[in-house]
Structure 1
Amino acid sequence: MKAMSTRLPEVVIFDPNVFGDERGFFQETWNRRTFADLGYDLDFVQDNHSRSSRGVLRGLHYQRTRPQGKLVRVVRGSAFDVAVDLRRGSPHFGQWMGVVLSGENHRMLWVPPGFGHGFLSLEDGTDLLYKCTDFYVPEDEAAIRWDDQDIGIEWPLDDIEPTVSPKDRDAVRFRDAQTYP
């Protein structure tokens, strides 16, 4: 497995070894020792699975007092996955990075605690799976508008009119959001 840096130093793209032949493929998606050897000693407590139609945009989500680290991958379809630094003390505060994850490229994205997360489904039936370092706590959940101009995410919308939930449509602006120290 290779770890690839991004413009946000703590956010990492993992490119796993994929062994394929005419029968299909095999890949190891999580091995505590492999990740620890790469410098990521992670402890996951929850796995989530999201299926979305083309044009569904989810995010930008985070938990206010119990931040979750997320190891994200797409097993079917494709998504533009985004992380936003929400740590006021960071030199990258308010900056974002995005990457296409797909069932074809097998890549995974590490979104550390202290970052907001969102994605745009680029195909119908996109299955996104992610491992979390802390439990989901509904009363701790927060969201920042996906189209906030202060963050300026360049979503690959092309001809897509994004479908967002009422919660995401009514999310606060970045400047009004509760962020991390």
Structure 2
Amino acid sequence: MLLKWSLLFLCLFITVPSVTLDEFSKGKQQQHFPKKLKKKQLYLGMTLKKFHKKAPNATRIDTASEFKIEYTEAISDSSITSYSYLFTKDQEPLLYAITIAYKDMSTVRALAESLMGKPKNNEEWRMEPSMIKEDFTMGAWTFGHKLVYGATIINSEWEQGFQSN
């Protein structure tokens, strides 16, 4: 009888596709990202090591900063010119900001609102930890032709939270 239950239990784990907790939580955060960023499979809190695998064409642009590591990635796209990425400067650096630079400044705000609704924190969006299943708050805002996503990750410039306008 025990063998029968063991086999049944084993079959359930083999046949049922599973989603890891990590994939689930990243999906919660990524639901607020534009489609092209989702396809890159990047997320806030990602390690630099994983980032190198997902964005091999990104180039490090800073060398002197005491608190951050910065990468940029030029894009040949009809709407996006580049992505910028900021990492904490820790033993294991974590991605704490993603900036998307668009060619047409007039579309950035409308795109952000289509993804996240009307901003509820002055002119910015906040996604609390419980909403994105993370241990940090995610913020988003537009700035000229850019859409910025940031996180209150330890040792980032927003560790203490975001300042509102």
TM-score scaled by structure 1? 0.28
Q: Select the structure of larger CA radius of gyration.
A: 2
Could you say which structure has the higher strand fraction? 1
The structure richer in helix per residue is 2
Q: Which has the higher contact order (CA 8 A, sep 6+)?
A: 1
TM-score (norm 2): 0.30
